[in-house]
A and B are shown apart, each in its own frame.
Chain A
C-alpha cells in the first residue's frame, strides 16, 4: 500500500463523515485498484447521495471497469445534480463516441465547451471527434480499425438539461489514455482542474505538452518554456547552497495571475497558471495534480 493511500485510508477511518473518501477512491482508481475504489465510492455515495462529485467519481471507476452502461447512469446522475458539470459531459461524450454516435458526442462536448470555453482539452477532443467523424464518413473502412468497438448506451437515460450554476472545477473522466479521440499531447492534462493554462517543459526548455496563452489570446507556451529551464536550474542551486534541499514548488503571485511551478520528474518542470482570484494554495493543488497526470502521461509516451 502506498503512503498516499495509507494516509488517505487513515483519514477516512478517522473522519468517516468527511469527503476524504473522494480522494481515497480516486487514488485507488489511479492505481488500478478498481474494486477497492468502487467500494470506497459506494460507501461515500450512501452518505452523500446528492453529491455530484461522488457520482462523477463512481462513473470514472465504472468506466475503467468497462461497465459503460453503469458509467453512463452515474454521469447522468451527476449531471442531474449539476447540469453544467463538464467532467460528466465529457464522460458521456466519450461513451457516445465509443458507441459510434459522433453527433451525440459532439453535442455533449459542445455543451462542455460552452460551460468552460477555456478548457483546451474540450476543444481538442471536439476537434478530434469531428475529424474522425468526417474521416469515417468518407472512408469508413480506413477508420474502423482505429475506432473502439461500439458499446451499448442505455437509451432510457434522459438527456439532462443545463440549468444550474457552474460547478467548481473537478477531475475529468476522459483522460489521455481513455480513448484514441482524446489521446494527444494536450490531453495529458485532461484531468486537471479546468484543463487550461498548464505547460510541461523538458530540461532544455522545450515544450512537451500543454498550452499557455497571454491575456490577449496569443499562444506563448514556447517562450515561457524557454525561461522555465533556467528557473529549474536556479531553484535547484538556491535550495542546495542555502541548505534547504531539493525544491518542491515555486509560487508566483502576480497582480493578474497566480503561477505555480513543480517538478513532475527530475527532467521536467510544470507550470500551472490561474486567475488571481483563486488562492495560491489551491493553485498548488492544481499543479500537484497536473504533475501526477504528467508523470502518467510521460510513462505512457516514453
Chain B
C-alpha cells in the first residue's frame, strides 16, 4: 500500500466518512481516491478544488495565511478539505453523523505528509 493510499485508508476508517480523495487543487483532477458507492469522485474533486481555491483567495484578500483545514457543513453532511504541499488537497465527503473531529485530525496529519 502506498503512502497516499494509506492516508486515504486512515481517513475513510473514521465513522461516517463516505469517501476521501486527493486532488490537484489547480485543475480539480483526482490523484487518488477511496470512495463509497454513490460518491462521485470527479465531481467532489472539481467542486472541492474550486471551493478551496476561492477560500484561499478570500483568506489572502483578508491578509491571512492559507487555510489548513476547511469544512463546508450542509444539510446532509459535510465536505472536508485539507490543502497540502504541491498544490494537492485532501478531500473527504462525510455524512451528518460523522466524527468530524477525528476526521479532521487524520486529514491534517495526512495532508502534512503529502508531497
Which residues on A are within 8 Å of B, measured CB to CB?
212, 214-216, 218, 220, 223-224, 226-228, 230-231, 234-235, 237-239, 241-257, 259, 271, 273
Contact = CB atoms under 8 A, between A and B. Distances in A.
Contacts of A220: 61-63
Interface in B50-83: 50-51, 54-55, 57-59, 61-79
B74 A244 contact: yes
Nearest to A197: B62
B48 A243 contact: no
A224 B62 contact: yes
12 contacts: A215-B64, A234-B51, A235-B72, A237-B47, A242-B44, A245-B75, A247-B73, A250-B55, A250-B72, A251-B69, A256-B65, A259-B67
A239 B58 contact: no
Given A246-B75, A247-B72, A252 B47 contact: no
Closest 10 CB pairs of A and B: A214-B63, A245-B75, A244-B74, A238-B47, A227-B58, A223-B61, A252-B67, A239-B74, A253-B69, A234-B51
Contact of B76 (A216, A227, A244, A249): A244
* Residue of A214, A235, A244, A253 with most partner-chain B CB within 10 A: A244
Contact of A255 (B47, B48, B65, B72): B65
Contact of A251 (B40, B70, B74): B70
A244 B62 contact: no
B15 interface: no
A205 to B, nearest CB: 11
Interface of B: 38-40, 43-44, 47-48, 50-51, 54-55, 57-59, 61-79, 93
A227 B64 CA distance: 14
Is the contact region of chain B dominated by helix, strand, or loop, or is it mixed? mixed
Contact of A234 (B47, B61, B65, B66): B47
Nearest to B104: A253
B40 A242 contact: yes
* Residue of A220, A223, A250, A252 with most partner-chain B CB within 10 A: A252
B43 A255 contact: no
